[in-house]
């Protein structure tokens, strides 16, 4: 008995028929439920991914919360540092006034004003926290940057008190002796250097976290679009969509700007 | 522990902001430090990036080799949005790419982008095969 030989065309037609009957069943099911993937049996991978999506979006949102409170903490510390810097600068003004006089009465007044500023610096430093974390008061801040917490950023703590990192001692002998004024002057300029470097470190941390925050926000937006469409996934449709997108992108500004950006990059050497 | 790279004669490599070209012999390099490293086979040039996923790979690659990756975030996300709308099934790969970028691990992000290209190829092949089948069917009808 001879076999039945099916030409490729016939085989394709048969396949199409099978798929069509499959499709009719699925469509009926979907019509009754109103959603294209409505059970784990329909398309297990997409079903469970879609289920997991809301969980992931929540994780990312929690991450965003931690980032924005981290940003506020760093900003509070940075504001504290700039206020303290101004105080140190006014203390410097006192010192230069003291250098221009020999009147012990005036010197005593100036030195007591200097001590007042010291107290204000300590108070400011104690008040530079956010949410109970004060980066100028010896508290560390750890910000988690991704979902599984494998990437974190630790913002180091400072102790910006006159007795701590700033090392500004109280005015000695009512500034009656010139060397005491000199000591105050050199301590103040050292404190300014410390403050400047701390502020730079904080700003760079701030930029890092802000970039990550923007990225995470954009990622959540993109993912949410994906989540809405995921239950609609169908490889026939997706393939056709991709072909259309491929053509559309060829004419898009994004493709052009990518090429332009590559020209400014090390990639330009690669020809 | 550094990265060991073996280069064939004449093979090229991007190291930081430089292009390194191997001489006439095989070379073994041990590279330590934090500069971006891209082997010739991993490099995607703008002219080669002719599909949506390949363009994403290019964008990630630009982020990796750029001094300030922020310049490329807009392009990256607009490409991602296009792709996720056209092919939602690529979603898990796109999440992987994003998470690696978020963790600052750009090399792994590139690897995930490669997986994304493979996934896209499957879908595109499927689509072109479908078109061929249809064409085949019409020819079949003519011959019958």
Q: Does pLDDT of A122 surpass 80?
A: yes
With an 8 Å Cβ cutoff, are B140 and A8 in contact?
yes
Domains of chain A: 46-223 (1.20.1330.10)
pLDDT of amino acid A22: 67
The pLDDT of residue A265 is 84
Whether B98 sits inside 8 A of A222 (CB atoms) is: yes
For A96-125, what is the mean pLDDT?
A: 91
Cα B134 to Cα B140: distance, rounded to the nearest angstrom: 10
Query: How much is the pLDDT for A77?
Result: 93
Tell me what the mean pLDDT of segment A163-191 comes to: 90
Q: For residue B37, list chain A residues with Cβ-Cβ distance below 8 A.
A: none
Q: Picking from A188-197, A217-226, B93-102, which range would have the lowest pLDDT averaged per residue?
A: A217-226
Q: Regarding predicted confidence, which is higher, A232 or B97?
A: B97
Contact at CB, B55 and A56, closer than 8 angstroms = no
* Nearest alpha-carbon partner for B16 in B38, B36, B31: B36
**pLDDT level of residue A134 (50, 70, 90 thresholds):** very high
Q: Give the range among A1-15, A72-86, A239-253 with minimum mean pLDDT.
A: A1-15
| Cα dihedral: A101, A102, A104, A109 (round 10) | 10
The mean pLDDT value for A63-77 works out to: 89
The residues in B 9-48 lying below 8 A from A, measured between CB atoms, are 12, 14, 16-19, 43, 45-46
Task: Indicate the pLDDT class of residue B117, thresholds 50, 70 and 90.
Answer: very high
- The residue among A135 and B92 whose pLDDT is bigger is A135
Contact B86 A242 (CB under 8 A): yes
Question: How much is the pLDDT for A247?
Answer: 86
**Nearest-CA residue of chain A relative to B142?**
A9
Q: Calculate the alpha carbon distances from A208 to A96, A100, A153, A160 in Å.
A: 39, 46, 9, 23
Lowest mean pLDDT among A93-97, A220-224, B130-134: B130-134
CA dist B61 and B76 (Å) reads 10
Per DSSP, A4 falls in state: P
Chain A residue numbers with beta carbons less than 8 Å from the beta carbon of B70 are 211
Bridge partners, residue B28, by sequence = B6
> Which run of H or of E encompasses B18?
strand B18-21
For A21-51, the pLDDT digits (tens) are 666 666 565 555 545 555 556 666 666 666 6
| A153 phi and psi angles, rounded to 5 deg | -125, 130
Q: Where are the domains of chain B?
A: 1-42, 44-143
| Probe site for chain B from A150, A266, A269 (most B CB atoms < 10 A) | A266
Q: Please count the CA atoms within 13 angstroms of the CA of A161 that sit on its side-chain side.
A: 11
> Among candidates A105, A97, A102, A125, which has minimal Cα distance to A184?
A97
Residue owning tokens 């012999």: B25
pLDDT confidence bin for A266, thresholds 50/70/90: confident
CB < 8 Å to A6, chain B? none
Whether B132 has its CB under 8 Å from any CB of chain A: the answer is no
Q: What's the pTM? A: 0.71
Where helices occur in chain B by DSSP H, the ranges are: 52-65, 73-86, 91-102, 106-143
Work out the minimum CA distance from A247 to partner chain B, whole angstroms. Answer: 8
- Say what the pLDDT of residue B135 is: 64
């Amino acid at each position: 008995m001879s076999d039945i030989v099916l030409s490729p065309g016939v085989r394709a037609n048969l396949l199409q028929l099978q798929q069509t009957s499959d499709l009719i069943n699925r469509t009926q099911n979907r019509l009754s439920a109103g959603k294209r993937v409505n059970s784990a049996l329909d398309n297990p991978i997409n079903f469970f991914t879609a289920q997991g999506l809301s969980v992931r979006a929540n994780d990312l949102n929690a991450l965003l919360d931690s980032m924005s409170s981290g940003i506020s903490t760093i900003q509070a510390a940075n504001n504290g540092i700039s206020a303290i810097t101004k105080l140190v600068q006014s203390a410097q003004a006192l010192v230069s006034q003291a250098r221009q006089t020999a009147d012990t009465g005036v010197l005593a007044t100036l030195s007591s004003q200097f001590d007042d500023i010291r107290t204000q610096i300590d108070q400011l430093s104690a008040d530079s926290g956010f949410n109970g974390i004060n980066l100028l008061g010896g508290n560390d801040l750890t910000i988690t940057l991704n979902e599984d917490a494998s990437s974190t950023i630790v913002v180091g703590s400072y102790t910006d008190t006159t007795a701590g990192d700033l090392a500004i001692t109280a005015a000695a002998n009512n500034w009656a002796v010139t060397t005491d004024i000199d000591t105050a002057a050199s301590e103040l300029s050292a404190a300014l250097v410390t403050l400047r470097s701390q502020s730079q470190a904080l700003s760079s941390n701030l930029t890092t976290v802000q970039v990550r925050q923007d990225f995470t926000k954009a990622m959540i937006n993109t993912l949410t679009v994906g989540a809405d469409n995921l239950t609609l996934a169908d490889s026939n449709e997706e393939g056709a969509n991709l072909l259309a997108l491929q053509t559309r992108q060829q004419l898009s500004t994004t493709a052009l700007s990518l090429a332009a950006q590559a020209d400014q990059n090390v990639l330009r050497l690669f020809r | 522990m550094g990265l060991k790279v073996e280069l064939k004669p004449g093979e090229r490599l991007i190291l930081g902001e430089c292009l390194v070209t191997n001489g006439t012999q095989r070379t073994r390099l041990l590279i330590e430090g934090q500069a971006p490293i891209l082997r010739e086979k991993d490099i995607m040039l703008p002219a080669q990036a002719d599909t949506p996923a390949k363009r994403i790979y290019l964008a990630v690659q630009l982020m990796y080799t750029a001094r300030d990756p922020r310049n490329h975030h807009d392009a990256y996300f607009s490409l991602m949005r296009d792709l996720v709308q056209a092919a939602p099934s690529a979603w898990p790969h796109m999440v992987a790419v994003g998470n690696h970028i978020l963790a600052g691990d750009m090399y792994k992000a590139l690897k995930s982008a490669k997986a994304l290209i493979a996934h896209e190829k499957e879908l595109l092949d499927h689509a072109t095969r479908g078109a061929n089948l249809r064409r085949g069917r019409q020819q079949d009808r003519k011959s019958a």
